[in-house]
Amino acid sequence: MLDVDHFKRVNDTYGHECGDMVIQTVSKILLEQTREYDIIGRLGGEEFGVLLPQTTLLEAREIAERIRIKIEETTMHYNTEEIRVTVSVGLIRNSEEIEDFNTLVVLGDKCLYQAKSQGRNRVICYEENDFVI
């Protein structure tokens, strides 16, 4: 799960057209930083889900960090303004303990909100925390 940090501030400051440009840029980076067989979807607003099939947790963390850093380093231009955003990422590995896709999304969301509460612009892994399934 991936969410653009302080996205409302972008819309409120520069307008929804700028917000759309930010979403498009983040989408493009997601496509560039993932593999052909990975699945990327916009879940609504500024939130995205990325499925990384046949990937170890270590590989997934590396991909998530690569995405996070690339977005942080990207300068977007809107009219005469330079816009920079960051993202928070909640990372979870599918396992036999997880009974269905909805549970996977809920746990990914918990990690995402943990990343937000710890200061944003970071990746939080489910396996590194004491969440209850």
Give the residue numbers marked as catalytic: 46
Give bridge partners of residue 2 from the DSSP assignment: 48, 89
Q: Please name the amino acid found at residue 101.
A: F
- Integer Cα distance of 9 and 21 in angstroms: 14
**Helices 16-33, 57-73: crossing angle, 10 deg rounding:** 140
Give bridge partners of residue 111 from the DSSP assignment: none
| Element containing residue 39 per DSSP (H, E) | strand 39-44
Residue 126 near residue 18, CB atoms below 8 Å: no
Residue 66 near residue 99, CB atoms below 8 Å: no
